[in-house]
A = this chain, B = another copy of it.
Amino acid sequence: MSALADNGAREEIIITLFDLFRRGGYDAVSIADISEATGLGKSSLYYHFPGGKPDMAEAVADFARGYMREKMFAPLGAQGPLARKIAVMMKTVATMYEGGGAPCLIASMMISPTASPKAVKTVKAIIADWIDALAGALRADGLSSAAAKRRATAAVIAIQGALVVARAAGEKQIFSAALKAAEKDLIDQRRE
């Protein structure tokens, strides 16, 4: 079952919340905004998320982590040639960030002081998971543990940085070019 297409109504709401929170930041999104975006009344939202906005933030953070596990970390940990796994990752990255036009939930949640600490902790952990999963794939391809970690960290840095720079410049090709360059560096045959 896909993390993106669950039958529960709650899952539907969470996907909307995901988009609202990453684009506007947790604090700027009001219950009224969420009500309008989901088409549900305020009370209905509190039915699904009794804890209110903090509850919603945690649900979105968990959803994001599950999505990443399914779409990126699991494929990276599977059998197969490195180049293929990296290509899958980059495709998921491009889709998730809409080619460089959509903000990252992690970055948005990190600067939200009123967001629940649990939610912030969860989204931050995604970055560490990402680097670990990527480093694992590189080790499986023969890189040393240190080199794998260094290269994996550099790749995630390049992706996150390119997203900021591309959105600041309003030029999506900055993002796609950076993804290409990062992919090249990851499958580089040189062994440091």
Interface assignment of A156: CB less than 8 Å from any CB of chain B: yes
A142 to chain B, nearest CB (A): 22
- Chain A interface size, as a band, is 35 or more
Among B104, B107, B111, which residue has its beta carbon within 8 angstroms of that of A24? B111
Q: Quick check: is A99 within 8 A (CB to CB) of the other chain?
A: no
- The residues of B that contact A43 with a CB separation of less than 8 Å are none
Question: Is the Cβ of A169 less than 8 Å from the Cβ of B25?
Answer: no
Residue of B nearest to A27 (CB): B28
* Partner of A159 from B28, B161, B168 at Cβ < 8 Å: B161
Q: Which of A175-190 contact B (CB under 8 A)?
A: 178, 181
Once the chains are docked, how many angstroms separate the CA of A168 from the CA of B126?
9
| With A28-B112, A28-B114, A114-B28: A157-B168 Cβ-Cβ less than 8 Å | no
From the candidates B104, B110, B156, B161, name the one contacting A156 in the complex (CB within 8 A): B161
In the complex this chain forms, how many copies of it are found?
A: 2
- Of A104, A112, A159, A164, which is in contact with the most chain B CB atoms at under 10 Å from its CB? A164
Whether A153 contacts B127 by the Cβ 8 Å rule is no
> Is A35 at the interface (CB under 8 A from chain B)?
no
What distance in Å separates the Cβ of A103 from its nearest Cβ neighbour in chain B? 5
Q: Does A170 contact B (CB under 8 A)?
A: yes
| Cα distance, A22 to B159, chains bound together (Å) | 21
Q: What are 26 A-B pairs at a CB distance below 8 A?
A: A23-B111, A24-B27, A24-B111, A25-B28, A25-B112, A27-B27, A27-B28, A106-B164, A110-B168, A111-B111, A123-B168, A124-B168, A126-B168, A127-B164, A127-B165, A127-B168, A127-B169, A153-B165, A154-B181, A156-B161, A157-B164, A158-B158, A159-B161, A161-B161, A161-B164, A164-B164
